[in-house]
Amino acid sequence: MAINRSFLLFGLLVTSAFLHAQTPDRSAYKSPYSIALSFDVKDLMGDLVSGPRADPKEQSSVDFKNWYAEANIKRWGYWGPPSKHYPAPAGLSERKAQWKRERVLAVGMSLVGRGYQHHHIPEWDPPAGWPTQADLKRPVAKGLDCSNFVSFAFNQALGFKLPSAIGNLGAMKDAPGPGEGHSNPVQRIEVPRDYAAFGTVLRSGDILFMKSGDGTITHCILWIGDIGKSPDKQPLILDSTGDSGVDSNGNKIPDGIYLRAFRPTGFYFKHFSHAIRVIPDDAS
């Protein structure tokens, strides 16, 4: 594998999405975290750079010319148009589990820098005068919330259209896909409360769920696994959140889609509920 070429291409993909999504206060943030893909990025994401999957106007099941039609203001509100169900990528059944997992994370990383917004698709950008949410105290822009981010990453990457409502996603037993008309069972994982066990039990791309004091599922994240690179060797996750938090350099991480550390003293570990594995291990 041409390591340098792969990382250069991946850097260009992420940088393009990052700059496209940034507001001035985001552009100054430099994350100390990264991922090291084990597959050539052209092989992993080639069809996401050019072709139907690469067209942001094709993210919804609604024709783009109707996204901002006045008739849809009351119908959609701030959430915007629904996402489409992507077909399975060519040759998916022949791919190894790790390829599928890294493809999901690569799609997620291409959205790094988008803000935390209650939208169904990342390209939705409500114009002035469109309804907003009173509890969302940040500028209206392109972005996703936690469950819509996870759902979109699996959908665009593999054609699994997971529930975007956090409660339904956390209770999921079958994943719709790959592609329409198909469904596959998922695996629920009850990770022991031992912090060290997370690194041995979980796989890249597993979905982790956090709960409130009454047991209600309130947040979800993607586990990065052993392809994550952190200066302080902490495990990494990828999510979209409205909360801030700091990185290993002590710098505040902006709201939205970023890599973050999974620390033994942090919210993610302390409020962990369970995990769901959409992509099973390869048959032995």
Alpha carbons 212 and 163: distance in angstroms, whole number? 20
Alpha carbons 156 and 94: distance in angstroms, whole number? 18
- Of residues 135 and 9, the one with the higher pLDDT is 135
Q: Is the pLDDT of residue 171 over 70?
A: yes
pLDDT for residue 18: 36
> pLDDT for 100-137, tens place per residue?
999 999 999 999 999 999 999 999 998 888 887 766 65
CA atoms within 13 A on the CB side of 185: 3
> pLDDT for 29-42, tens place per residue?
999 999 999 999 89
pLDDT for residue 16: 39
Backbone angles phi, psi at 184, to 5 degrees: -135, 140
pTM: 0.91
pLDDT for residue 159: 98
- Distance (Å) of CA 242 to CA 7, 66, 239, 247: 29, 29, 10, 15
261 in helix, strand or coil?
strand
The fold adopted by the segment(s) 3-277 is endopeptidase fold (from Nostoc punctiforme) (3.90.1720)
